[in-house]
């Protein structure tokens, strides 16, 4: 699969979200970080903002839920217009049931792992998912340094996906930039979230193109 670049609006101007979404037209997905100040020590946005954003842009929304009780909330993000919904396995009560519900409602189901959460216990769940997200920083804030120690986990996960012959996308999120994206791609990631590397650039659309080129090189 060609590399996909998903700009994270966490690094955008929240008062101008529609314009900020337009500034990265050509990106594959728009990454929307939902934080509840419980699962992570930060607070961002919720269902009404996602609903409005879905109306304001043609770029599909990739909602990353860093929240408690995703079993209760994730389906509402599908209804709000998200094309992909990621829940954290550390917060989910019934990840298989939840993934099935997200898919049944018509979105791609994705599961995220914090840096300290291993992939091995979840090998049998992989067929239930459309994407797996490996966090390459502790979730909660944009602009943190990429954790190189996550590279072996990315590699092992790619091996598991191949072993089972799955179509699953492998996303990385946190500290992805021009200086780290090639390492992630080399380890087997194919979907790249970038917040500060895109919205911190003088030309965000050009930053998306440059990242994609590096990931595919």
Instruction: Point out the catalytic residue in the list 33, 36, 62, 190.
Output: 33
Told to judge if 173 belongs to the known catalytic residues of this protein, a careful annotator would answer yes
CA distance 31 to 29: 6
| 36 belongs to the binding site for Zn ion (CB under 5 A) | no
Q: Which of residues 105-144 bind ligand DX5 (CB under 6 A)?
A: 137, 139-144
Among 70, 95, 175, 204, binds ligand DX5 (CB under 6 A): 175
| 11 belongs to the binding site for ligand DX5 (CB under 6 A) | yes
Burial of residue 13 (number of CB atoms within 10 Å: 0-12, 13-18, 19+): exposed
Burial of residue 148 (number of CB atoms within 10 Å: 0-12, 13-18, 19+): exposed
40 within 8 A of 140, measured Cβ to Cβ? yes
| CA atoms within a 13 Å half-sphere pointing along the CA-CB vector of 109 | 21
Retrieve residue 37's tokens.
């100040």
| 88 belongs to the binding site for Zn ion (CB under 5 A) | no
Count the neighbouring beta carbons within 10 Å of the beta carbon of residue 160. 17
Please say which residue, 33 or 36, places its beta carbon nearer to ligand DX5: 33
Please say which residue, 26 or 141, places its beta carbon nearer to ligand DX5: 141
Residue ranges for the known binding site are 8, 31, 33, 64, 140-143, 173-175, 195-196
Among 52, 76, 117, 196, binds ligand DX5 (CB under 6 A): 196
Among 27, 50, 59, 64, binds Zn ion (CB under 5 A): 64
Instruction: Find the helix or strand (DSSP H, E) in which 162 lies.
Output: helix 151-163
Instruction: Find the helix or strand (DSSP H, E) in which 199 lies.
Output: helix 196-199
| 174 belongs to the binding site for ligand DX5 (CB under 6 A) | yes
Retrieve residue 101's tokens.
């519900």
Among 5, 6, 21, 33, binds Zn ion (CB under 5 A): 33
| 12 belongs to the binding site for ligand DX5 (CB under 6 A) | no
Please give the full DSSP string across 85-127, using - where no structure is assigned.
EEEETTT-S-HHHHHHHHHHTTSEEEEEE-TT--SGGGGGGGG
| 173 belongs to the binding site for Zn ion (CB under 5 A) | yes
Residue 144's binding partner, choosing from Zn ion, ligand DX5, none, with beta-carbon cut-off 5 to 8 A by kind? ligand DX5
Told to judge if 33 belongs to the known catalytic residues of this protein, a careful annotator would answer yes
Residues engaged in binding ligand DX5 (CB under 6 A)? 8, 10-11, 31, 33, 64, 137, 139-144, 173-176, 193-197
By annotation, the residues acting in catalysis are 33, 173
């Amino acid at each position: 699969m060609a590399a996909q670049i998903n700009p994270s609006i966490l690094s955008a101007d929240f008062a101008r979200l529609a314009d900020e979404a337009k500034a990265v037209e050509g990106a594959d997905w728009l990454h929307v970080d939902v934080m509840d100040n419980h699962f992570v020590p930060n607070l961002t946005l919720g269902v009404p903002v996602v609903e409005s954003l879905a109306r304001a842009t043609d770029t599909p929304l990739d909602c990353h839920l860093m929240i408690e009780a995703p079993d209760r909330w994730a389906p509402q993000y599908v209804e709000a217009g998200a094309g992909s919904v990621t829940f954290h396995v550390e917060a989910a009560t019934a990840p298989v049931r939840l993934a099935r519900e997200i898919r049944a409602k018509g979105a791609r189901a994705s599961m995220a792992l914090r840096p300290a959460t291993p992939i091995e216990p979840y090998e049998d769940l992989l067929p239930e998912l459309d994407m797996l997200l490996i966090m390459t920083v502790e979730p909660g804030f944009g602009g943190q340094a990429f954790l190189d120690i996550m590279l072996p986990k990315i590699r092992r996960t790619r091996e598991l996906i191949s072993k089972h012959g799955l179509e699953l996308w492998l996303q990385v999120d946190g500290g992805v930039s021009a200086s780290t994206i090639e390492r992630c791609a080399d380890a087997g990631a194919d979907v790249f979230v970038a917040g500060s590397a895109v919205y911190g650039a003088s030309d965000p659309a050009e930053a998306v193109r440059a990242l994609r080129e590096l990931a595919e090189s």
